[in-house]
Structure 1
Amino acid sequence: MTAAPFDLQLQRITYLRGPNIWTYRPVMEVWLDLGALEQSPSNALPGFTDRLLALLPALEEHHCGVGERGGFIQRLREGTWAGHILEHCVIELLNLAGMPTGFGQTRSTSQPGVYRMVFRARNEQVGRAALMQGHALLLAAINDQPFDVKAAVDVVREAIDDCYLGPSTACIVGAATDRRIPHIRLNDGNLVQLGYGAAQRRIWTAETDLTGAIAETIAGDKDLTKTLLKACGVPVPEGVVVASPEEAWEAAQDIGLPVVVKPTDANHGRGVTLDLSKREDIEAAFKVADAEGSEVIVETFIRGNEHRMLVVGGQLVAAARGDEAWITADGQHTVTQLIDSQINSDPRRGTTEDHPLNRLDPREDPVIMLDLQRQGFGLDDVPPVGKRLLVQRNGNVAIDCTDDVHPEVAHSVCLAAKAVGLDIAGIDLVCEDIRRPLQAQGGAIVEVNAGPGLLMHLKPAEGQPRPVGQAIVEHLFPSDQDSDGDRPGRIPIVGVAGSQGTATIARAVAWLVHLSGRPTALACQDGLFIGSRRIERAGKQYWDQSHRLLMNRDARAAVFENPASLILDDGLPYDRCHVGVVTDFEGWQNLARHDVREADHLHKVLRTQIDVVFSDGAGVLNANDARVAALAELCDGEVLFYGHEVDGQLPAALVDHLAQGGRAAVLRQGTVRLQQGASSVATLDVAGLLERHGMGGDTALTHALLAAVASAWGFGISPELIAAGIETFPLRAPA
């Protein structure tokens, strides 16, 4: 009787989108039931390790906990469990699919045979695809069944292609990340917000929210663009808009042969036919151009190579040169076969964004077909041996020449971008030598493009890649405008974690921050607010609601209430904060589904709020809870305690903190004192305030106000404004 195959059940899959108990970054958390595999580690499965390595030989590179190459293989041969192995299978599939991933962990739970496995996942759909393929691969290796690794990698790669940012957008986002500017993807495409709240900027590929609609419209009208450039003294080819093939021929004669025929509003070189002198060629080129755009223009033909110049914020940051594509006949093969063997065989050519040059498909490009026809050949013809045929005149702009650009050329292209009004522009010019001024060689600017592609500068076919993403981020967030203590793209954020009075604390802090002159967004269980206006009630999608507040351009600061369940289910709704508050370790009884079985288990959860505090920020901690006070050692910023007397004594942690010159908010007999070391900075009569509102003796509210006062002080609000602001704070939550 054949034994039943081993199984490995995926009990629960959770995508943690923000900082969480595992890491600062988004991860996929998977609960696994090993079943019978709990009794069968890798070294107890005959032939398993060799089968797995045959499927994924690059596992040899995984260091694992051993810390050196081959470390994971060592663990396999010594014996490790299926959850840990699945972690490495998923990571390797992501690596093979082109999304390198290094982070993963697997931990046991209180349930025998059940584990939690996590791995870095930049995108939920990609993470799920990799998990499912890794799960299938692992079971195939365990049960000695066939598995198609290539097909699995293709599935993951397809998910990446469907979900991931294009190369232009990705390089800008990457440059922003390098400067620690957060980003939020606003749609399934390439619309991305860089920064939070009022400090944000937006990009859509290489267009920004500084790119004007009028400028973009002008750039789309080639005839109007030329008029504006000519008025500025920028050399442009003479041209006439025409409405028919006959008019095209007449215009060509008036301008002077040879000419160029192209659409007025197409891009990427579509419909552009060059170096035309015969009437039949010009009339045929009109039809090609007319199919690509709304109008057709006939221009003087400028001799030389096509160049693409990238201008960002009035500065030339990159330049690339094009080259013609030719074939040489051998007397045996057709034109199509020669194009494939002599041009498309170049590994730099392809159909994906990984290739700096496009694969040529003459049947899909009427301009190529027209050029071949002008030379007297069709795709199925066999040209005589030695015959050279020009296949493509433009479209091969991928040779970096940034360092060769003459200063006068750089000035001309920057002036062209300014004349059109574009903050980021791709300037197309034609000249024979980019090292000489345009006027001296009869060169000219032929197009100005909004939203230019960046791939040719990021991955040139020849030459040095250029840091164009960094240039665009610098344009959006000038580093020389950063003041002391400010971070580009960021607004001050306060996060309040715990369970006791956290909504009141969050409301009070938001109130005080707002009074300090910063319109403040607030997310708490009482609702979502901008200033005093509630814009939404808190619902089941609380993380999404909170995160959306960071998209609001009115928000110059933000305050978030973060219950432990939010951190466990989704992660924090922001990446870093200026003030992190932790109140208590209560409420653990409601977190059994996360394997939280006692108060001490909340340490890993609530420390997340303190882990994300900036080094110049503040961690605000309840000194009356020793477990909370112990989080102080994890805070990169200042620690500011708050606490009250119990049996006439203040908490030891608070007393020691003050003795070392630290700051604390101290509650004694209804009065809050803001103290730094032995000095009292300010006094607030909280008990009297509550009495005046008919809430005297409300201990929970008193402690919440104590925490709020401490948090506002940690935020940097003056004690005088805190005292005045707390008097006007609406103590009752909105209905």
Structure 2
Amino acid sequence: MAKTFNDIQLLRTTFLRGPSVWTYRPVLEVWLDLGELEDYPSNKIPGLNERLTTWLPDLVEHTCGVGERGGFIQRLEGGTWMGHVLEHVIIELLNLAGMPAEFGQTREISQRGVYRMVFRCPEEAVARVALEYGHKLLMAAINDLPFDRKPAIHAIKTAINDRYLGPSTGCIVDAAGERRIPHIRLNDGNLVQLGYGAAQRRIWTAESDQTSAIAEGIAQDKDFTKRLLTACGVPVPEGQIVANAEEAWEVAQDIGFPVTVKPSDGNHARGVTLELYQEADVKAAFALAEPEGSDVIVEKFIDGVEHRLLVVGGKVVAATKGETVSVHGNGKATLRELVAVLNQDPRRGPEQEYPLDWINLDAGAVKLELNRQHVTPDSVIPQGQAVLLQRNGNMAIDCTDDVHPDVAYYATLAAKIVGLDIAGMDMILKDVSQPMQGQGAILEVNAGPGLLMHLKPTSGAPRPVGMAIADHLFPREDGANAGRIPLVGIVGTRHNAFIARLVGWLLQLSGKLTGVASSEGMFLNNRQTQKTNTANWAGAHRLLTNRLAQAAVIQTTSRSILEEGLAYDRCLVGVVTDMDGFETLADHDVREASQMRRVLRTQIDVVLSDGAGVLNADLPEVADLAELCDGEVVLYSAQANNAVVAAHRGANEGRAVLLRNQQVILATGGLERALGTLDALRLPTGHAVDTSALLAAIATAWAMDIAPDLIAAGIKTFEYQPA
């Protein structure tokens, strides 16, 4: 009888929300106790590998450390431990659920049989569901128990749909990410901040903080919008608001047939019924439209094809056209059966990720169409007979390259008239490649338009609409650091709150309204706004979401890096003062001073290429981090003859701040400039200042290109009192 193994124990899980010792992106870190499985790698459990590859055949695509397709399978066959196997099982489940996941690592700690396993996932709730089902699948494979992967994938998909950004918001965030613009999710929905502090912009689906509330209100009132457009010469269909079904029929007769009935402020084509001739149909359409908006409009039906043009920043950036939805009978199947087959189209589905919705035979608009054709869902449709199911709401055929300049002109004009920076223009056109006049009209101007039709058209090329919106919010001429403010990150234990506050003061004097998050509290414009310790992820997060902050100085700790990750993706200047404190981190398996390098290097790893790392050259283990910095390195030392500083100045014409005969020297290669003596650079409060901390602050300010004279004057005016 095969041996039965106890479950792998999940000792603790920690979601690291920012750059950490593992990677730049969010990961879930899990501590695993393999127990007796420590003595049973994958090649010692009969049938394990076969069961895993049967349930998860795409494990063959995992390259693992081998670096080639099938690499992980080689590791399985050669024998690898269960923490590593669990890592790959979770990654594959995430892939199957539609969330590409490639990064994972598993490392043994000093306690035998206990491992730290991490895998990348942007959302904590999704990561925890993937962990739960990955653990269940692996234990089933180990103990030769049945396992159905479909419920597991469904559960992960459900978590993704519940927690992830919608497709419109997501594509804008992804585009911003391509341009290295950071983002912060502000709620559980689709409100997202792009950029930091005063450089930020906010989006909510396809609306931005530049979208006027007045313009949005106008767009929601379709009748008023039409009157504005008409006044400016934009062709729109004749129409009128009606109060009841009887009035709808009277207006329809006055306007002339056919007519359209729709809600005055609905969206997504809900409650819209087209091409009506009969009294019963008009009245039924009124009943369908009334619940979807505050008023109902009857307007002249315009013959042509539905189009949706996306206008961003005064330009048409994408266009799609629609098609009616019909099924054709075979003389055997009922309409319900034919629609069931239609709904199997992989482009159709209930979630936002699908460009086309399922056809619902119980929907009011569909029922009305069927009544007009004298067909019921249980009718057997004769061979070759077409049954029309939907006339509108199916705009998913890309036609961007066909848009005539005249059509684009009227679309952008309508957006300007309403006042929207991002607008979806619903138009009826016989031919989008021909001039507008005489062959079409604008039906609606929509704020916050859906983008999925442009991202996943059923025909034609996807359009980079997310990038168009990102470029609108952050013009390319803003440069490579669009959305960023000067940000200083400081880690260590030696007087770092003082360093952070002095650097914040010097940045303030240089003309930037500066926020400081430190262990002595939160400061903005040199005023204390919070007295509690903010040298952590939450404190930094609050500072980076503050629209007043034109610069930020953020103190952090080794423990915060290990338990939360950094709150920012990159910084202009990263400062490491020391590598003290390993004695307090045994719960993270940091048991030797040498292990601090892996923790504190995180601060230097995130320095921008046009930024600088500021390092204490009097501590060799800190100075050695210079090799990891993507930007410039500025050293500081209280020793005039420091060999590391001398080599740095000589080999790279590097910058350094050093102390010689009580004189603070700013050195660039062989050039030197005296900033002043320690006595002259005394704080006005008379508070005793650690020399190394003062040099660190000076080096940081200099790395931020603050003028030496301003640095000296700022120190003498810094009224520091420990909080």
Secondary structure at the aligned position of 1:606 is classed as helix
Secondary structure at the aligned position of 2:594 is classed as helix
Q: Which residue is equivalent to 2:132?
A: 132
- Asked if residue 602 in structure 1 is aligned to residue 596 in structure 2, the reply is yes
- Asked if residue 663 in structure 1 is aligned to residue 661 in structure 2, the reply is no
- Asked if residue 572 in structure 1 is aligned to residue 570 in structure 2, the reply is no
Q: Which amino acid in structure 1 is aligned with residue 568 of structure 2?
A: Y
**Residues of 2 paired with 1:26 and 1:87: CA distance?**
15
Cα contact 1:682–1:720 (8 A) shared by 2? no
Q: 1:693 to 1:336 in 2, by over 3 A?
A: closer
Cα contact 2:614–2:635 (8 A) shared by 1? yes
Secondary structure at the aligned position of 1:665 is classed as strand
Identity %: 58
- Asked if residue 534 in structure 1 is aligned to residue 540 in structure 2, the reply is no
- Asked if residue 396 in structure 1 is aligned to residue 394 in structure 2, the reply is yes
- Asked if residue 650 in structure 1 is aligned to residue 613 in structure 2, the reply is no
Cα contact 2:522–2:534 (8 A) shared by 1? no
Cα contact 2:675–2:709 (8 A) shared by 1? no
- Asked if residue 712 in structure 1 is aligned to residue 685 in structure 2, the reply is no
- Asked if residue 586 in structure 1 is aligned to residue 580 in structure 2, the reply is yes
Quote how far apart the aligned CAs of 1:349 are: 2.0
**Residues of 1 paired with 2:390 and 2:297: CA distance?**
20
Quote how far apart the aligned CAs of 1:20 are: 0.7
**Residues of 2 paired with 1:644 and 1:403: CA distance?**
65
Q: 1:384 to 1:80 in 2, by over 3 A?
A: closer
1:675-727 CA deviation, whole Å, 9 max, x = no partner?
A: 112322232222344486444xx5x6222111100100001101011011010
Quote how far apart the aligned CAs of 1:280 are: 2.0
**Residues of 1 paired with 2:671 and 2:221: CA distance?**
69
Q: Which residue is equivalent to 1:374?
A: 372
1:466-487 CA deviation, whole Å, 9 max, x = no partner?
A: 11001000100010243xxx61
The partner residue of 1:489 within 475, 483, 496 is 483
Q: Which residue is equivalent to 1:164?
A: 164
**Residues of 2 paired with 1:644 and 1:350: CA distance?**
66
State which drifts further: 195-204 or 62-71: 62-71
**Residues of 2 paired with 1:131 and 1:318: CA distance?**
40
Q: Which residue is equivalent to 2:432?
A: 434
**Residues of 2 paired with 1:114 and 1:389: CA distance?**
64
Q: Which amino acid in structure 2 is aligned with residue 146 of structure 1?
A: P
Cα contact 2:517–2:534 (8 A) shared by 1? no
The partner residue of 2:411 within 402, 410, 413 is 413
- Asked if residue 731 in structure 1 is aligned to residue 720 in structure 2, the reply is yes
**Residues of 2 paired with 1:3 and 1:628: CA distance?**
50
**Residues of 1 paired with 2:705 and 2:588: CA distance?**
36
Quote how far apart the aligned CAs of 1:575 are: 0.5
Secondary structure at the aligned position of 1:636 is classed as coil
**Residues of 1 paired with 2:230 and 2:683: CA distance?**
76
Q: Which amino acid in structure 2 is aligned with residue 213 of structure 1?
A: A
**Residues of 2 paired with 1:625 and 1:330: CA distance?**
83
Q: Which residue is equivalent to 1:556?
A: 550
Secondary structure at the aligned position of 2:310 is classed as strand
| 1:4-403 to 2 correspondences below 5 Å | 5-341=5-341, 343-363=342-362, 365-403=363-401
Secondary structure at the aligned position of 1:358 is classed as coil
Quote how far apart the aligned CAs of 1:305 are: 1.1
Quote how far apart the aligned CAs of 1:572 are: 1.1
TM (norm. structure 1) is 0.96
Q: 1:53 to 1:327 in 2, by over 3 A?
A: closer
Cα contact 2:518–2:533 (8 A) shared by 1? no
Secondary structure at the aligned position of 1:440 is classed as coil
Quote how far apart the aligned CAs of 1:566 are: 1.1
Quote how far apart the aligned CAs of 1:332 are: 3.4
1:346-381 CA deviation, whole Å, 9 max, x = no partner?
A: 332222233221111121x21221122122223333
**Residues of 2 paired with 1:332 and 1:32: CA distance?**
58
1:300-357 CA deviation, whole Å, 9 max, x = no partner?
A: 110011111110011001111111112333343333333334x334332222233221
Secondary structure at the aligned position of 2:679 is classed as helix
Cα contact 1:7–1:36 (8 A) shared by 2? no
**Residues of 2 paired with 1:268 and 1:2: CA distance?**
58
TM (norm. structure 2) is 0.97
- Asked if residue 477 in structure 1 is aligned to residue 485 in structure 2, the reply is no
**Residues of 2 paired with 1:643 and 1:539: CA distance?**
29
Quote how far apart the aligned CAs of 1:68 are: 0.9
1:129-179 CA deviation, whole Å, 9 max, x = no partner?
A: 111111111111112222221211122111111110111111110000000
Q: 1:391 to 1:718 in 2, by over 3 A?
A: same
Q: 1:339 to 1:111 in 2, by over 3 A?
A: closer
Query: How large is the Cα RMSD of the aligned pairs?
Result: 1.7
1:357-413 CA deviation, whole Å, 9 max, x = no partner?
A: 1111121x2122112212222333335444333221111111111111111001011
Consecutive unaligned residues of structure 1, counting only runs of 5 or more, are none
**Residues of 1 paired with 2:444 and 2:595: CA distance?**
63
**Residues of 2 paired with 1:135 and 1:481: CA distance?**
47
Q: 1:43 to 1:387 in 2, by over 3 A?
A: closer
**Residues of 1 paired with 2:659 and 2:28: CA distance?**
43
Quote how far apart the aligned CAs of 1:539 are: 4.2
Q: 1:92 to 1:331 in 2, by over 3 A?
A: closer
Q: Which residue is equivalent to 1:422?
A: 420
**Residues of 2 paired with 1:106 and 1:308: CA distance?**
49
1:218-274 CA deviation, whole Å, 9 max, x = no partner?
A: 000011000111111110001111112221122112211111111101111111111
**Residues of 1 paired with 2:71 and 2:647: CA distance?**
45
Q: 1:263 to 1:168 in 2, by over 3 A?
A: same
**Residues of 2 paired with 1:429 and 1:68: CA distance?**
51
Quote how far apart the aligned CAs of 1:429 are: 0.7
Secondary structure at the aligned position of 1:687 is classed as coil
**Residues of 2 paired with 1:544 and 1:426: CA distance?**
37
Residue correspondences, number: 722
Quote how far apart the aligned CAs of 1:617 are: 0.6
Q: 1:345 to 1:570 in 2, by over 3 A?
A: closer
| 1:602-641 to 2 correspondences below 5 Å | 602-641=596-635
Secondary structure at the aligned position of 1:291 is classed as helix
